[in-house]
Amino acid sequence: MESHLVGLDLDGTVVDYDDALHEPVRDAIRAAEAAGHHIVIATGRAVSGALDVANRLDLTDGFVVCSNGSVTVRLNPAAERGWEVFHVESFDPGPALERMAAVLPTALFMVEDTDLVRWASSDFPEGDLAAGAHLRVVPFDELKGKRATRIVMRELNGTSEEFEKSVERIGLHGVTYSVGWSNWLDISPDGVSKASALARVAQSLEIPRARTLAVGDGSNDAEMLEWAGAGIAMGQARDSLKAIADAVTGTVDDDGLATVLSERLQLG
């Protein structure tokens, strides 16, 4: 089989919601890479959280898409840190932050800058961010002066339905945004998504779109599932994501990713 680009969401796809990597999934990813396919992590996590899983998968070469497409790094064993920045997108976070704070004044906010430093209006609850994540807490107004690769808004109060209604009331324009599972909103530069980053990686690798596969479970995976030659939704994904996918695999607890990789890439 000709080599494919395989874009993989992390949380709820590669790892479960307790951040556990199941052995069948790890084995399938390693087998896909050994067969010559290009494994590309595509996650909302910042670089440190994405690389934590890449290390557990023993990935030492290739690309990692972070911050929902705003930051792409290339793994390089010869580099001082084992990786180097491939591409960064940024925007002025001020207008979006002002609109969000006006609707949800009790929310927590985080801005990741172009140096990949994360600034926050307050500490986030334990477990919200990847292990080892470091936040620099500053006054809210200082966040508005940063050049951002992404904004995160986290509301600790209310239901997910109430949160989604609040996001609609904010009426964001000129940015790309996705609502997460736990009153969590990710905002990226306009037009930037996991799909736009994967398209750039595919071009660099000279992989045609017809030979791309993407697997994910969240609203921030919608664009990459639509973009890929084959877009696969995890079994626990919302119906709205399943509706745009080419197929649906098993849940993360049932190692659905291992199943789809084995079937689609004809692994051993």
CA atoms within 13 A on the CB side of 25: 27
pLDDT digits (tens, 9 = 90+) for 117-158: 999 999 888 777 765 568 899 999 999 999 999 999 999 988
Architecture of 95-189 per CATH?
2-Layer Sandwich (3.30)
Cβ–Cβ under 8 Å, residues 40 and 8: yes
Please tell me the distance from the alpha carbon of residue 266 to that of residue 255, in angstroms, as a whole number.
17
Cβ–Cβ under 8 Å, residues 166 and 103: yes
- Give the CATH fold of the 5-88+192-264 domain: Rossmann fold (3.40.50)
Please tell me the distance from the alpha carbon of residue 222 to that of residue 9, in angstroms, as a whole number.
11
Max alpha carbon distance in the chain (Å)? 55
Provide the pLDDT for residue 255: 98
Cβ–Cβ under 8 Å, residues 86 and 74: yes
At 49, which amino acid appears?
G
CA atoms within 13 A on the CB side of 224: 37
Q: What residue segments make up the domains of the chain, in order of their start? A: 5-88+192-264, 95-189
Please tell me the distance from the alpha carbon of residue 259 to that of residue 247, in angstroms, as a whole number.
12
Provide the pLDDT for residue 268: 65
Provide the pLDDT for residue 131: 54
Provide the pLDDT for residue 130: 61
Residues of the chain with confidence (pLDDT) below 50: none
β-strands 62-66, 71-75: how paired?
antiparallel
